[in-house]
Chain A
Amino acid sequence: MTLMKAKHQRLVLLVSALVVLVAAALLAAWALRNQASYFYVPSEIVAHPPEAGRAVRLGGMVEQGSLKTAADGVTIHFVVQDGQARVPVTFRGIVPSLFVEGSGVVAEGSMQAGGMFVADNLLAKHDENYVPREMQDMTREQAEKVMRETK
């Protein structure tokens, strides 16, 4: 096996590196379209529900009086609303300390076939320096309400 000329070798290396990198970019673009998790507020998720099982995030206010704990002591049910629509949510786990009725929450999880949202994780307002970014997307009254209730 003879070695290539230096110029040819450089060209081959360049082309193969480019091919792999472009392939990586295309793969990434394709996967991002399918795997990125979109952010919804209740009225959007009710109007245009995502396919069941797809990872999405739901942000809104926890409705007063809707929080119920199941008999096992670790599963909770509550309703997230934005004034126009209501979405029932189930979560199994330890809730963040600032998660209370009437405050803002972002739930990560997926919609189920029956219109129930199953959350894997809940983000509540932490402290004045660290606001989950999704909360900035709520309307001003909602944000102010969150501030009032959790401060």
Chain B
Amino acid sequence: MIAELGLAALWMAAALAALQLLFGSLGLTARGQVLGQAVRPVAIVQGLLALLAFLCLVYVFAVTDLSVRLVALNSHSMKPLVFKIAGSWGNHEGSMLLWVTVMGMAGGFVALVERRLPERTMLATLAGQAFVSLGFYAFLLLASNPFERLSPAPVEGNGLNPLLQDLGLAFHPPTLYLGYVGLSIAFSFAIGALVTREVGPPFARAMRPWVLAAWIFLTVGIAAGSYWAYYELGWGGWWFWDPVENASLMPWLAATALLHSCSVLAARNALRAWTVMLGVVAFSMSMIGTFLVRSGILTSVHAFAVDPERGTFILALLAIYIGGALTLFGLRASTVSEGERFAPISRESALVFNNVMLSAILGIVLFGTLYPLVAESMGAKVSVGPPYFNPMSAIFAVPMLVVLAVGPLLRWRRDTFARVGKGLVIPAMLVVTGAIALVVIGGVSLLPFLGLALALGLAWASVLPLKGRNLRRTPLPIWGMVVAHFGIAVSLFGMSSESAFSVEKLVAVRIGDIVEVGPWGVKLDTVEPVAGPNWTALEARLLVRYGTNGKVTRMLPQSRSFWAPPQQTSESALLTRWNGQLYAVLGGEAPRANGTDADGRWQLRLWWKPFAPLIWLGGLLVALGGLLALVGHVASDLRRIVARGKIAYRRERQGR
């Protein structure tokens, strides 16, 4: 019953999206203006219906209604409740339903609160949003119905991939989706602005909070996803350049560029066509990412089911939306008039540089991600990994980071290096000192070397915009910028330190043996079986000590066997200190040399990763910076609305 209710809600939401598109387009014409008034309410109800459909799906998963095909395929009655709920989006159909839900809710929210733009632009924006939603509704209802029944109902479900049965993972897809799909708002705003040719500071100010919000979710989602891969896969790495990771990185790069060009447009009325273009590109990257991940054409733990029909469907949607938007852009870009001018040395130029470099990195990542597909169509099977991505993206990232140190100090419109040069002496000295120290230590390869040296200078330079300001009266967006840039430096330091100074030990040891890893001594104390709700495991008790007279701490890495579906995972154990993380993985019992019997030795893989937690701490700082900027912008918008209301009220009282 609930499943049918969900399906009905989904159909109605799709119908309303069609209505929203129709009314929105007609509302732009002189005769259809009355219809335009219905667009906002329709958008809100559409969002609520999509939410209802999604809640229905969560419900059938929560009660494990096995007569629903999706539940039977992806869930199991013996699973903890939180993973039953998370299971509702841990599969293809459910995740697409989450996608349209977020998209509908975002559109409804814009319709509810956004009052700054001219009504015509809003109509075009909401029509654009409905147009995109409609395609995804069609995809859900025609090619991947989440509420399909199964008759007869099986007695037990297939279960969820054990790798996905993890709390961190359970909540990273919704976060990431809020980011991905939040960018659809930027896309729709760009379409709306192109249709009505209203590109200017008000457009940028209206779009900025939405981009910021989506970007914050993307940042948190990427950081969480990276941390999940780090501790759950048990491979000790935190970024694998997996197509799925790239799928989330590409929209982030585009959104970061968009964020910066938005601030140029809002403050200085420059980079007009470019900002609109980035709005289109950012969401296009979200859709390409979805295509790569959901069509199953690339190897990935996220490629749930390989179904060529679905791939073709998403590809067609991509062609329509991206092709359509770019065509619209091509037709209208020349009619968007030139923006304000600026000198080569100015804040604007620095931000243009940032934008171009981010776009170049985006291009590098996009090429590397798509290349295996291109090669395959020509008959060669290839994969592309870190040897390509790391140096190629660094070529553009390093100059960008250098400009990041200088840019925020420059004035708008025109400036000179002589004015800002003095402030940069200390950061430059930090970079040089760091570089010399690293040469003395020796053995650090080029990229971590550059990263460490730059991170030191950048950390200092990123707080310089606060110099000479009254800290209490500094606007929140400035604080946001400083915190986010500082976060970049922190994260860069963590990444470089991890790849430069990590120590790895792979050993087979008997109970009671002690292994040295970097500054740590690790003793294998016991190995004992333990049981969970849907798994059994071998758990090792490690007694670890930092240095020669540190406190002895326990670590409990497990090797888990799930039975539905049957699979084995390594649950790594992490021990965090201020200066790094100790990472332990328990393998199996080591086979005797030249034989198959065990000989009482256990495989252990241990890493000491200096300053590794800074990678994610930095990522969270970046997101926090975004949040501060968002709060600042929204608060000042609210103040302006209140002030305008007061003025209008006074005028009314004076009888004018």
Chain A contacts to B: CB under 8 angstroms:
1, 3-7, 9-10, 13, 16-17, 20-21, 23-25, 27-29, 31-32, 35-39, 55, 57, 68-74, 92-98, 121, 126-130, 132-134, 137
- Report the bound CA distance from A57 to B381 in whole Å: 10
Q: Beyond A21-B360, A129-B305, is A37–B396 a contact (Cβ under 8 Å)?
A: no
Please, which residue of chain B has its CB at the minimum distance from the CB of A127? B565
Q: Beyond A127-B565, A127-B567, A133-B299, is A94–B383 a contact (Cβ under 8 Å)?
A: no
Q: How far is the CB of B282 from chain A (nearest CB, A)?
A: 16
- Report the bound CA distance from A21 to B303 in whole Å: 30
Closest 6 CB pairs of A and B: A73-B508, A73-B590, A97-B568, A94-B587, A39-B381, A133-B299
Count contacts between A and B, CB distance < 8 Å.
Answer: 152
- Report the bound CA distance from A128 to B392 in whole Å: 36
Q: How far is the CB of A117 from chain B (nearest CB, A)?
A: 16
A94 touches B570 (CB 8 A): yes
- Report the bound CA distance from A70 to B355 in whole Å: 53
Please, which residue of chain B has its CB at the minimum distance from the CB of A136? B306
Answer yes or no: B640 CB below 8 A from chain A CBs. no
A37: chain B residues at CB < 8 Å are 382-385, 387
A17 touches B382 (CB 8 A): no
- Residue of A27, A31, A71, A92 ringed by the most chain B CB atoms within 10 A: A31
CB-defined A-B contacts under 8 Å, sample of 6: A21-B359, A38-B380, A55-B387, A93-B506, A94-B605, A129-B565
A71: chain B residues at CB < 8 Å are 593
B359 touches A17 (CB 8 A): yes
Q: How far is the CB of A26 from chain B (nearest CB, A)?
A: 10
A137 touches B381 (CB 8 A): yes
Please, which residue of chain B has its CB at the minimum distance from the CB of A38? B382
Answer yes or no: B367 CB below 8 A from chain A CBs. yes
Told that A17-B359, A35-B387, A57-B383 touch, could you supply 8 new A-B pairs with CB distance under 8 A? A17-B356, A20-B357, A37-B385, A37-B387, A74-B506, A95-B587, A98-B568, A129-B305
Q: B303, B341, B590, B591: which contacts A4 (Cβ < 8 A)?
A: B341
Please, which residue of chain A has its CB at the minimum distance from the CB of B344? A1
Q: A7, A20, A94: which contacts B588 (Cβ < 8 A)?
A: A94
Please, which residue of chain A has its CB at the minimum distance from the CB of B506? A74
Please, which residue of chain A has its CB at the minimum distance from the CB of B273? A10
- Report the bound CA distance from A47 to B565 in whole Å: 39
A133 touches B298 (CB 8 A): yes
A7: chain B residues at CB < 8 Å are 338
Answer yes or no: B342 CB below 8 A from chain A CBs. yes
B388 touches A32 (CB 8 A): yes
A68: chain B residues at CB < 8 Å are 593-594
- Residue of A5, A13, A132, A134 ringed by the most chain B CB atoms within 10 A: A13
A121: chain B residues at CB < 8 Å are 235
Answer yes or no: B352 CB below 8 A from chain A CBs. yes
Answer yes or no: B375 CB below 8 A from chain A CBs. yes
